[in-house]
Structure 1
Amino acid sequence: MDFRQLQYMLKVAEEKSFSKAAQKLYIAQPSLSQYIQKMEQQLGVQLFDRTNNPITLTYAGELYIETAKKILDLKNQLIQQMEDIVELKKGCLKIGVASFRSTYFIPKVLPLFYERFPGIEVILFEGTSGELEELALKGTTDITIMMMPVPKELFSYEIILKEEILLAVPPKHPLSKKEGNKINLAALKNESFILLKQNQKLHQIAVNLCKQVGFKPKILLETESIETAHALVAAGMGISFIPDILLLANTYSKQPKYFSIEDFSATREMVVAYRKGRYLSTASKEFINVMKEALS
C-alpha cells in the first residue's frame, strides 16, 4: 500500500464515479479502474459496489476510506513537522475562513505574513461556519477563523478579537431618525427581519437575542450572505443583525443606520481554532501572531 492508493480511493469515493475521479486525478479512466480492481484483488475484498449508479462503497470500502483519511492526515502532520525544522523556508498553510471575513481580514493579514515568510504557500478554504468546522475536523485545514461558540470538546482555540453585533435599520425607516446610537431591541418585535440562513451562527444569535427580550423575529428573507442582508437593509427591505466589522468596507450609496442593542451587550469573540490534539505547525503559530498584530 502507498499514499497514491489512498488518494485514488478517496477521490473515487468522493466523486462516486471512476470517470470523474480520473479527470480530477489527471489519469485515464481505464487505468484508474484497473488500479482499483488490482487493489481489490490484493486485499481480497470488493471496495465499491459498481451495480449502483452512482457507485457506492461497500462495508469494506467504508472501513478503508475511514482509515485512509487518518493515514493521510498523519502524513500531512508529519510533513508539517519536517517543514518546521527548515525554519519556515518553505511549507504550506491551509486556512479556513468565512467568505465575507476573508474580504476584510485577509488583506490586512496576508501581505504582512508573506513579507515575513515568503516561502510559505497559503491556501484559503472559504465557506459557512458549518462547512468550516467540518473541514477542520477532517484535517483539511490547519487553522480556521471561527466565531464563538465552538465545540470545546472538538477544538482548541485562541481568541483574536471581539466584535459587536449591531442592528442595521433602512435609511428611510422612521427609526433611522432616532437620536443616539442605541436602540431597544424589544421595540422591534413587529418589524420584518432579514437574517442569515439557519445553519449559520449569526442566525442563531439573532433569534436568541430576540427571544431574550420576549419575541420571535418575523423573518422576511433568509440569505447565505451577510453582505446580501446588509445590501437589502440599505435598499429598505428590512432590519438585520450585522457584525460591526462589516462597517469597515461600507460602500453603499444609501447607508443603513446602525444601532447598538440597548437591552444588553451583544458581542461575540472571533477565534483561530484547530482540531483538538492536532499538531499546530510553526507556520500556523506565526500566522496567528501576525493576525493578532495586524488586527490589534
Structure 2
Amino acid sequence: MNLKQLEYIITIAEEKNITRAAEKLYITQSALNQQLLKIEKELETPLFIRSKRNWQITKVGEIYIENAKKILRIKKDAYNQINDLLERKKGRMKIGLTLERGPEMFSAIYPVFYKKYPHVKIESFEMSVKEQQREISEGNLDIGFLTLQDSQKKADEHIHICSEEIILAVPKSHPLARFGGKVGERLPKIGLVEFSNSLFAIMQQGSTLREIYDKIVIEENTCPDILLETRSCHNLFQMVAEGICCSVIPISYTRNTPDVVYFSIQQEPFWEICASYKKDTYLNHAARELIKIASQYWKDKLKPFHLK
C-alpha cells in the first residue's frame, strides 16, 4: 500500500464510479482498476459493490476509506508544519464559502492574500453551512467560513471573526413604521408579536437565518403570514424596499432608504461569522493569514452599522 493508492480509493468512493474517478485522477480506467484489484487481492475482500451506474462502498471499504483519510491528513499536517518551520510559502487549501456572501468576500480578500502567498493554491467551494460542516468533519475542507449560532456548532474548531445583529426591516407604508429608526443609530426595540397580521418574506428551511426566525416566532407564540420564502437575503431586503412585506435580515444587508425603517428585535438575535476547521488538525500560517484578512474584511464591512 502506498499513499497514491489511498488517494485512488478515496476518489473512487467520492465519484461512485471508476470511469469518473479515472478522469478526475488523469489516469486510464484500466490502470485505476488494476490498482483497486491489487488492494482487494491483498485484503482478500472487495471494497466496492460494482454496478453500471453508481458503485456502493462495502463495510470493509468504509473502514479502509476512513483510515485512508486519516493517514493522508497526518501526511498533510506534517508537510504543513515542515513548510511553516522552513518558511516555505507554498501549498494548497480547500475552503468553503457561504452561498450568498462567500463569493463577494473571497473576491475581496484573495488579492490581499495572493500578495503574501502567491504560491499557495486555493480551491473555493460555495456551500450551505450544513454542507460545509459535513465536509470539514470528513476532512475535505481545510477551512470553512460560516455564519451560525452557538447551538449549531459541531465538534470542530471555530475561530470567531465577528458577530452580526439580525434586525427587523419594515416598509414605510406599514402602520408601525412611524416608530422605526435608521441603521447606524440606536434602533427602537419591538417584538414580532406586534406584526402577527403582517406579511413576511423569510429564508428557506435549512438556513441559519430561518432557524433564528423560527425560534423567535415560537418564543413569542406568534405566526406572521409568510408571503415568500427565498435563499437570498438580498431578495428579502428588496421585498421590503418595494413595500410588499416585512422581513428579518442581517444588519449588513440593510440600506437607509426613505422606503424602509428598522427595529431591533426583542430577543436581540445575532449570528456569528467564524472560520471553522477540523479538530486536531494543524492550521498552517497561510490559513491563519487568510482568516486574519477575512476578519479585517468583516470589520470594515460592518463598521458603517456601528452605533453613532
Deviation, structure 1 residue 81: 1.5
Task: Kindly indicate whether residue 206 of structure 2 is the aligned counterpart of residue 213 of structure 1.
Answer: no
CA-to-partner distance for each residue in 1:239-283, whole Å, 9 max, x for gaps? 322111224xx6xxx986241324242222222222222212111
Letter in 2 for 1:6: L
Deviation, structure 1 residue 176: 4.8
Using the alignment, how far apart are the partners of 1:53 and 1:118 within structure 2? 40
SS of residue paired to 1:99: coil
Using the alignment, how far apart are the partners of 1:180 and 1:18 within structure 2? 59
Using the alignment, how far apart are the partners of 1:53 and 1:262 within structure 2? 51
Deviation, structure 1 residue 204: 0.6
TM-score (norm 2): 0.82
Q: Which residue of 1 aligns with 2:137?
A: 137
Letter in 2 for 1:269: E
TM-score (norm 1): 0.85
Using the alignment, how far apart are the partners of 1:51 and 1:145 within structure 2? 37
Using the alignment, how far apart are the partners of 1:273 and 1:42 within structure 2? 38
Q: Which residue of 2 aligns with 1:285?
A: 288
Letter in 2 for 1:155: D
Q: Which residue of 2 aligns with 1:98?
A: 98
Q: Which residue of 2 aligns with 1:33?
A: 33
CA-to-partner distance for each residue in 1:23-69, whole Å, 9 max, x for gaps? 22222323322332232122211111125752212221121112122
Letter in 1 for 2:263: S
**Aligned pairs, how many?**
292
TM-aligned CA distance change 1:111 to 1:47, over 3 Å? same
SS of residue paired to 2:150: coil
Using the alignment, how far apart are the partners of 1:203 and 1:151 within structure 2? 13
SS of residue paired to 2:89: coil
Letter in 1 for 2:227: L
Q: Which runs of 5+ in 1 are unaligned?
A: none
2:203 to 196, 200, 207: 196
TM-aligned CA distance change 1:64 to 1:108, over 3 Å? same
CA contact (8 A) 1:163 1:268 kept: yes
Q: Which residue of 2 aligns with 1:164?
A: 165
Using the alignment, how far apart are the partners of 1:53 and 1:142 within structure 2? 30
SS of residue paired to 1:214: coil
Task: Kindly indicate whether residue 274 of structure 2 is the aligned counterpart of residue 267 of structure 1.
Answer: no
Deviation, structure 1 residue 220: 3.0
CA contact (8 A) 2:137 2:278 kept: yes
CA contact (8 A) 1:144 1:272 kept: yes
CA-to-partner distance for each residue in 1:92-117, whole Å, 9 max, x for gaps? 23322212222443344333222233
Using the alignment, how far apart are the partners of 1:138 and 1:258 within structure 2? 43
Matches within 5 A, 1:1-296: 1-50=1-50, 53-146=53-146, 147-149=148-150, 154-170=155-171, 173-176=174-177, 178-181=179-182, 182=188, 184=190, 185-247=192-254, 257-296=260-299
Using the alignment, how far apart are the partners of 1:25 and 1:103 within structure 2? 27
TM-aligned CA distance change 1:41 to 1:96, over 3 Å? same
CA contact (8 A) 1:183 1:259 kept: no
Q: Which residue of 1 aligns with 2:305?
A: none
CA contact (8 A) 1:88 1:119 kept: no
Using the alignment, how far apart are the partners of 2:52 and 2:19 within structure 1? 15
Once the two structures are overlaid, the 10-residue window that deviates more, 197-206 or 42-51, is 42-51
Cα RMSD, aligned residues only: 2.8
SS of residue paired to 2:206: coil
Q: Which residue of 1 aligns with 2:306?
A: none
Using the alignment, how far apart are the partners of 1:207 and 1:55 within structure 2? 39
Using the alignment, how far apart are the partners of 2:140 and 2:16 within structure 1? 20
CA contact (8 A) 1:88 1:120 kept: no
CA-to-partner distance for each residue in 1:82-141, whole Å, 9 max, x for gaps? 221232522223322212222443344333222233333333222111011112112222
Q: Which runs of 5+ in 2 are unaligned?
A: 183-187, 300-308
Deviation, structure 1 residue 292: 3.0
Using the alignment, how far apart are the partners of 2:176 and 2:107 within structure 1? 35
